[in-house]
Amino acid sequence: MFEQQKVHIEKVDEITVSPLSNKPQEFVRLLPLHEETKHRSIQRRIKPISLDEDKPEGHTRFVCISDTHARHRDLIYNVPDGDVLLHCGDFTNLGKLEEVIDFNDWLATLPHKHKIVIAGNHDLSFDPRLMEDIRKTKREGGYRRFQFLDQISEKYTDDWQSVLSNCTYIQDTELKVNGIRIYGTAWNPWFGGWAFNMKRGQPLLDKWNKIPGDGIDILMTHSPPAGQLDVVQPRSERVGCVELMNTVQLRVQPKYHVFGHIHESYGISTDGCHTFINCTTVNKELAPSNKAVYIDFPTPEGA
Ligand code: 5GP
Ligand code: MN
Ligand code: MN
Ligand code: MN
């Protein structure tokens, strides 16, 4: 079981942009050096619940995976059963229709009663802004990367849920399962101009500001917050979002924050108040070798 939440962090109503938005490494380095932020700097690894362990009575079991990158049929570990499957994006490599259909077919083979999926930066065709851009440059005869995506019918890209018929696809939305509040969003810090890329600072904060501040239990994002499971190799550099960490620790305070994206930083950690899970399935060599991670969440009375 995860250890108890010990640290109290004072809640605020509003987050303002940090002067260190573009310097997550520096933001994390400075946290323990200031009296006002010291208590937010804890990073402790937590042991996962063994996949053989029975679900405790009165709990809802979430099975968290991410970053399968169209390798879902090559997983080294089977996805274990549970009440709810959570997938935190990068389920395709390029957002091609055939990749999405195959992922959806694979989802049908899994036993979970509920399946909740968000997109990642690799699920290109799920970003309406990017698709509009691609179609516009095609109409104007210009060159653009990813132009192969313009062959996907608007009928699908305007309504991916009709293709992803074996799960609930969410984007900037909240969902309740067994009385447990879940929020999911694909936005991630700009890196190479892929899907749901957004500039650090105010643009990303505007997206995080859509997350309700009144008791989300499980937050799903594609990318990590600055300071927890966000280290890229080979230079051990932190690339998580500063505004996302401020939002999680100070405004939203979900019990669990689940994400993927940084393949080098699979694992579970805590700041003493929240539990962070990077459940990327592929490792840094892109081998689909990481196990799913369980969350056993106490089911609220009457749910
Ligand atoms: P993906 O392309 O699947 O979204 O991410 C794969 C890898 O790209 C990550 O494991 C990480 O090594 C690298 N990466 C992704 N986003 C960033 C970023 O914002 N900065 C840096 N330096 N590397 C990133
Ligand atoms: Mn990539
Ligand atoms: Mn990925
Ligand atoms: Mn990614």
C-beta 200 within 6 A of ligand 1:
no
Residue 143 has pLDDT above 90, yes or no: no
The tens digit of pLDDT for each residue in 232-249 reads 999 999 999 999 999 999
The predicted model gives 45-62 an average pLDDT of 98
Q: Partners of 198 in the beta sheet?
A: 189
Task: Establish whether the linkage from the previous residue to 234 is cis, with ω within 30° of 0.
Answer: yes
pLDDT at 56: 98
**Which CATH number is correct for 24-298, 3.60.21.10, 3.40.50.720, 2.60.40.10, 3.40.50.280?**
3.60.21.10
Kindly provide the b/e burial profile for residues 272-293, where b requires at least 16 CB atoms within 10 angstroms of the residue's own CB: bbbbbbbbbbbeeeeebebbbb
Domain ranges of the chain: 24-298
pLDDT category at 2 given cuts 50, 70, 90 is: very low
**Ligand 1: which of 232, 264, 266 to mutate, judged by most atoms within 8 Å of the beta carbon?**
232
String of DSSP letters for 92-140:
SSS--HHHHHHHHHHHHTS--SEEEE---TT-GGG-HHHHHHHHHHHHT
C-beta 90 within 6 A of ligand 1:
yes
pLDDT at 268: 98
Q: Which atom of ligand 1 is nearest to 191's Cα?
A: 19
Output the CA 121–ligand 4 centroid distance in Å: 5
Q: Tell me which of 6 and 251 has the higher pLDDT.
A: 251
Mean per-residue pLDDT over the chain, rounded: 96
Residue 302 has pLDDT above 90, yes or no: no
Cα–Cα distance measured from residue 148 to residue 134, given in angstroms and rounded to the nearest whole number: 9
The predicted model gives 11-36 an average pLDDT of 97
The predicted model gives 113-126 an average pLDDT of 98
pLDDT at 4: 52
C-beta 190 within 6 A of ligand 1:
no
Q: Tell me which of 152 and 144 has the higher pLDDT.
A: 152
pLDDT at 1: 40
Output the CA 91–ligand 3 centroid distance in Å: 8
Residue 3 has pLDDT above 60, yes or no: no
Output the CA 107–ligand 2 centroid distance in Å: 23
The predicted model gives 263-282 an average pLDDT of 98
Residue 21 has pLDDT above 50, yes or no: yes
Cα–Cα distance measured from residue 150 to residue 137, given in angstroms and rounded to the nearest whole number: 10
SS3 label, residue 242: helix
The predicted model gives 183-203 an average pLDDT of 98
- Among the bound ligands, the one closest to the CA of 119: 4
The tens digit of pLDDT for each residue in 109-118 reads 999 999 999 9
pLDDT at 176: 98
C-beta 264 within 6 A of ligand 1:
yes
